[in-house]
Structure 1
Amino acid sequence: MPGIRVGIGGWTFEPWRDDFYPKGLPQKQELHFASRQVTAIEINGTYYGAQKPESFARWHDEAPEDFVFALKASRFTTNRKVLAESGASIARFLSGGLVELKAKLGPINWQFLPTKAFEPDDFEAFLQLLPKTQDGVALRHVVEVRHPSFAVPEFPQLLRRYGIGVVLADSEKHPAIHDVTAPFVYARLQSASEDEALGYPAAALDLWADRARIWSEGGTPADLPLLAPAQKKPAKPREVFVFMINGYKPKAPHAAMALLERLRR
């Protein structure tokens, strides 16, 4: 499954102990274990507060060589009225040690509140503030918008001009934006059910595996409606990230591992 990564949000979650994690596994070994069951992890703690450079370095060293950490950017950057004024906050977040992840640094998810509406000029000013590198390390950016005003053709067209990705969510609470706007695809699946052994029905996992393969080959799944016309360019392989994030969170690791199993067939 070249270019496709499947993961979970974080690794410290008490209900995963003695379930996803083996009984008696020391807490300090949870990242080591989790990073060998999935192929990516989205770090959520960076959204709430600054992390130490040595923490990023330790996470880098504990994970396997071919592993990726995505990061949620600081809420102090995105939770503001005027995004064009967030330059200093962006710089502070990006200079806080995340480059210690080196080649294991994945996309940075800039998540916006559900109350944040689409203001094209201000949002473009924000995109212009996102750098392509930090201390020599390449950066990839993805935005997670949750207000229905973003579900217009102008939004994915704007992101394409800057090569910024958009989070694809399967939650009915958020707008469905399936357009590919960057050289990678970033999906956050948030509909896991307590009633399903793997969080998602087998048919749904099969479908997400098929979609991930199509994206990775440079295509667009025919069953997902687009806001703007697909770009008419020769198909190029893409990196694809699929995170089992929410819904019934205790099932997230099981859903991720089941999706990985399908992709390996």
Structure 2
Amino acid sequence: MAGRVFIGVSGWRYTPWRGHFYPKGLAQSRELEYASRQFHTLELNGSFYSLQRPSSYAAWARATPPGFIFAVKGSRYITHMLKLRNIETALANFLASGLFELGDKLGPILWQFAPQMRFHADLFDEFLARLPKTANAAAKIARGRDARVRDRESLVPDRNRRMRHAVEVRHESFVDAAFIRMLRRHGVAWVVADTPNSWPLFEDVTADFVYVRLHGSTELYNSRYSPEEIAYWARCIRAWARGGQPRGARLISKEKPRERASRDVYCYFDNTDKRCAPENARELMARTERDITSC
């Protein structure tokens, strides 16, 4: 049996989508409601730029149907400004800011790093070890929050559910088998990130799930994926969902990942500037569902 496949887009509030992806006249306040019924999942981007409020997370959860999943972007204050140093309070504030309000709609947390951020083994090993693997562990960290989130905090998960983490790196120094081994040791997913830039594009499997970001193959955040490219990513998703690796996968490490009967796959289109993301996501959903059910 294949793992679960979640395909969606990064964010949902884009002016060019109005009257095209979104029906003409749809109220902006209903855009999430509409998008969450077109896709299995969405990346929540606002959490990357600033601490959100529990009331916002709760409203997003209410607006979406049962079984829907949010991937939540980790705070750039942690990844870009502090650069993983002295992050105890910042991580507590992020975890206390409302993630628990998503309940069973909380999917992976995405930690995205700047292209200038290099691989420092000790620093990343310490960071990965800090990431909570359960909601109870996250709640324990969240209690260390400071005044910035007091009186606007969420500290009690509804139950002790598992938490997943994925890391997107953009510097060539991460093309190192030692980093792949580190991710596997901590159960954190390497993000398969497709871009026209010189950022690392590899398909190593490092966790019990796979996380894919499609930023545009010829123009960053802009270009449309062709039918041939959609077919390629559909084949990859089919292989990952069935616990394997795609034929001819681009790999950093020669060591094989732990064998599994299936893996969940999360895939997000981020080629949003010219309205390509929703159409490409729908195309990949249709192709992937056909490929997996036909096996």
Of stretches 8-17 and 221-230 in structure 1, the one that deviates more from structure 2 is: 221-230
Residue 149 (structure 1) aligns with: 173
Indicate whether 1:30 and 2:31 are aligned: yes
Distance 1:21 1:187, change over 3 A: same
Contact 1:151 1:176 in 2 (8 A): no
Q: Could you tell me how far apart the structure 2 residues matched to 1:235 and 1:138 are? A: 18
Amino acid at match of 2:172: P
Distance 1:254 1:232, change over 3 A: closer
Please state whether the residue corresponding to 2:62 is helix, strand or coil: helix
* 4+ residue runs over 3 A deviation: none
CA drift of 1:263 comes to: 1.8
Q: Give ranges in structure 2 of 5+ residues lacking alignment.
A: 140-159, 291-295
Residue 257 (structure 1) aligns with: 282
Q: Could you tell me how far apart the structure 2 residues matched to 1:78 and 1:36 are? A: 32
Contact 1:107 1:141 in 2 (8 A): yes
Summarize the alignment of residues 124-143 of structure 1 with structure 2, pairs less than 5 Å apart: 124-133=125-134, 134-135=138-139, 136-143=160-167
Q: Deviations over 1:102-151 (max 9, x none)?
A: 11101001111110000111111111111112343421111111111101
Q: Deviations over 1:45-75 (max 9, x none)?
A: 1000011101111111111101100011111
Q: Could you tell me how far apart the structure 1 residues matched to 2:11 and 2:36 are? A: 10
Q: TM-score, normalised by structure 2?
A: 0.84
Residue 87 (structure 1) aligns with: 88
Contact 2:176 2:252 in 1 (8 A): yes
Q: Could you tell me how far apart the structure 1 residues matched to 2:200 and 2:131 are? A: 23
Summarize the alignment of residues 11-50 of structure 1 with structure 2, pairs less than 5 Å apart: 11-50=12-51
Indicate whether 1:160 and 2:192 are aligned: no
Residue 149 (structure 2) aligns with: none
CA drift of 1:248 comes to: 4.3
Q: TM-score, normalised by structure 1?
A: 0.93
Indicate whether 1:53 and 2:77 are aligned: no
Residue 193 (structure 2) aligns with: 169
Of stretches 30-39 and 87-96 in structure 1, the one that deviates more from structure 2 is: 87-96
Please state whether the residue corresponding to 2:275 is helix, strand or coil: helix
Q: Give ranges in structure 1 of 5+ residues lacking alignment.
A: none
Q: Could you tell me how far apart the structure 2 residues matched to 1:131 and 1:168 are? A: 22
CA drift of 1:10 comes to: 1.0
Contact 1:191 1:248 in 2 (8 A): no
Residue 228 (structure 2) aligns with: 203
Distance 1:115 1:62, change over 3 A: same
Residue 98 (structure 2) aligns with: 97
Amino acid at match of 1:23: K
The alignment yields a C-alpha RMSD, in angstroms, of 1.8
Equivalences, count = 262
